[in-house]
Amino acid sequence: MIDSRVKFRHLHTFVEVARQKSVVKAADLLNISQPAVTKTIRELEEALGVAVFEREGRGIRITRYGEVFLRHAGAALTALRQGIDSVSQELFDSAPPVRVGALPTVSTRIMPRAMSLFLEEKTGSRIKIITGDNAVLLEQLRVGDLDLVVGRLAAPEQMAGFSFEHLYSDPIVFAVRAGHPLLLSKRSVFEGLADYPILMPTRGSIIRPIVEQFLIANGVASLPTQVETVSDAFGRAFVRKTDAIWIISSGVIATDVEDGMLAMLPIDTSETKGPVGLTIRADATPSTPQTILMQTLRQAVEEIMPMR
């Protein structure tokens, strides 16, 4: 039996606090006071009979009961949003929106072609494309703010409640400007890495552990000058104008290499290949526009990288 004390505001506030891992940040985003957020969470805990958050140092963390409830709360909010979208569709004669999260490697190479194919279908659906870190996109998918994520397969513990469809595999590469000294050097590339600034994926990114393992396996224990970034716009601009080395998924710079603006250092990185694909919530039923977009993504992959 549904407890009548649990209202929409309880679910919305709970999901936002869980996402932000902070009452202060959640209050700012919800545009309400911190005491109001705290009171709402306490009301929810009283209704559930368990604690959904607990203190951890100066912050908070979600409890195991909270994690269980988060999956259902996110699904409930998603169902409500879909209901509202369905009503809007009837009122304005337009298809429901499709909200897609895409990693930079996909946004640069695959998504433009997929979107061209999608628009040819004339679904009338609005499309919202968000680019960001894989972990952030998956969290947005979990709570219902995204319908689909196109990116690398995450760690098993992050994939609970999700369904993944493999599209292709993408290696990590070492990108530099055309004419970079290491392209002409006769010494080992790994010996020369310490002489140049290195653009590294951030510690929270899904490819960071792969990069670190690869460097250690090739005798590179540390790099003195590192800049951590997940911004492909900054990485592209910085590498073109300097002798920096950008360690990034190959798909992000594929077009730049084809245009001759960037080059890849002669390093065998085949062992760094990781699966890239479609991630949706396991309990979700894709809308017709979402299903069509997934089909155009598959077609774009077939056209752009048929060997995969």
Strands 162-170 and 274-281, by their bridges, are: antiparallel
Q: What is the DSSP string of 241-263?
A: HSS-EEEEEHHHHHHHHHTTSEE
Q: Which residues pair with 258 in a beta bridge?
A: none
Work out the pLDDT band at 113, boundaries 50, 70, 90.
Answer: very high
Class of domain 1-93 (CATH, top level): mainly alpha
pLDDT digits (tens, 9 = 90+) for 124-178: 788 889 887 788 888 888 888 899 999 888 888 888 888 999 998 989 999 999 9
For residue 97, what are its two tokens?
């929106």
Residue 92 pLDDT level (bands cut at 50, 70, 90): very low
CB atoms within 10 A of CB 167: 21
Give the start-end residues of each E strand in the chain: 53-56, 59-62, 98-102, 127-131, 148-152, 162-170, 172-177, 198-200, 226-228, 245-249, 262-264, 274-281
Chain centroid, CA 116 distance in Å: 22
What's the pLDDT score for residue 29? 81
What is the spatial distance between Cα 176 and Cα 105, in angstroms, rounded to a whole number?
17
Confidence class for position 91, pLDDT limits 50, 70, 90? very low
**Per-residue pLDDT tens over the stretch 193-252:** 888 999 998 887 788 889 999 989 988 888 888 899 888 889 999 999 999 999 998 888
Under CATH, to which class is 94-169+274-304 assigned? alpha beta
Q: Write out the H or E segment, with its range, that includes residue 172.
A: strand 172-177
- The backbone torsions φ and ψ at residue 45, rounded to the nearest 5 degrees and listed phi first, read -65, -35
Q: Which among 254, 306, 289, 307 has a CA at the least distance from the CA of 117?
A: 289
Q: What are phi and psi for residue 170, nearest 5 degrees?
A: -125, 125
Angle, CA of 39, 135 and 133, to the nearest 5°: 115
Beta-strand relationship, 262-264 and 172-177: antiparallel
Domain with CATH 3.40.190.10 in the chain: 94-169+274-304, 172-272
**Structure confidence at residue 22 (pLDDT):** 87
Residues of the chain with CATH 1.10.10.10: 1-93
245 beta partners: 198
CATH code of the domain made up of 172-272: 3.40.190.10
The enclosing H or E element of 166 equals strand 162-170
